[in-house]
Amino acid sequence: MKQVKSLNVAIVGGGEAGKAIMDMISSEKFRSLRMKLIGVADLNPDSPGYLFAQEKGVYTAKDYRELYKLKDLNIIIEVTGNENVTDEICRTKPRHIRLIDHIAAHFLLDVFRIEEREIANCKIAPEALRGSEEKLAGVIVSITDHMSMIDEKYNIIWTNDVAKEMFGPDLIGGKAIGPTTPMINPVNHV
């Protein structure tokens, strides 16, 4: 089988789905697939994908059969959603050109969008966590009772200012309530 330097792609359907497929192909993730958009066909020359292709200097046509003339075309992605168009492309395209119909194209687009959302969520999660931590810190600082945090070995690992004022600044590192440590009664502690 002949090694292809890049997969030359043409899209049939310049609507929103066509534009979304163009965005997907040009995304960073898809660059490793070496897909190159070389043509777009749509009956409506004012469709977003058609206009976008023209802006990018990509060949455009109203009749998808014109795409067959493109040199080294490997794949046609049909996103019109019209079964008759899919059937007609299957029947008329040259044998060496592969077809991704609108069902498979929308599936790929959905998978791509889900992955993009997951990546966005991974970027947002640390920011949300920082915001939650800041809110929690604000609440803890505003508590007027003494408060301390202990680890699993009953070591005091954090204390608020009220506890430091009550028990002294060297409270951190000491022992809190534990199996062998008596409970400190703040009322009687002086």
**SS3 at position 190:** coil
Please list the pLDDT of the chain residue by residue as tens digits (190 residues): 555 477 899 999 988 888 888 888 877 766 767 788 899 999 999 999 999 999 999 999 999 999 999 989 999 999 998 999 999 999 999 999 999 888 888 788 777 777 777 777 776 666 666 776 676 666 666 677 777 777 888 888 777 777 777 777 776 666 655 444 444 444 444 4
Q: Could you give the domains of the chain? A: 7-115 (3.40.50.720), 144-190 (no CATH)
How many residues can be counted in the chain? 190
Nearest to 111, CA basis, from 40, 30, 38: 30
